[in-house]
Amino acid sequence: MRKFPVIAFAAFSLFSTSSFAAASLSGSPVQVQADVTVGTTSTLNANWLPVTNLPAGLSQSGTRVGSLTVTGLGSSDAGWVVYADGSTGEHTNSITKYKFTHESGRNSFYALISDKTYPGVNYGSGAGIGTGPATFIPSNITAVDFVTNTQNNLTAGVYSATLSVSAYNN
Sign of the torsion formed by the C-alpha atoms of 97, 113, 79 and 118: positive
CB hemisphere CA count around 143 (13 angstroms) = 7
Q: Is residue 69 helix, strand or coil?
A: strand
**What does the DSSP assignment read for 29-62?**
----------------EEEEEEPS-PPSEEE-TT
Domain ranges of the chain: 45-168
CB 102 within 8 A of CB 90: no
What is the pLDDT at residue 46? 95
What is the pLDDT at residue 18? 46
Which residues of the chain are modeled with pLDDT < 70?
1-24, 35-42
pTM of the entire structure? Answer: 0.74
**Superfamily (CATH H level) for 45-168:** Dr adhesin (2.60.40.1570)
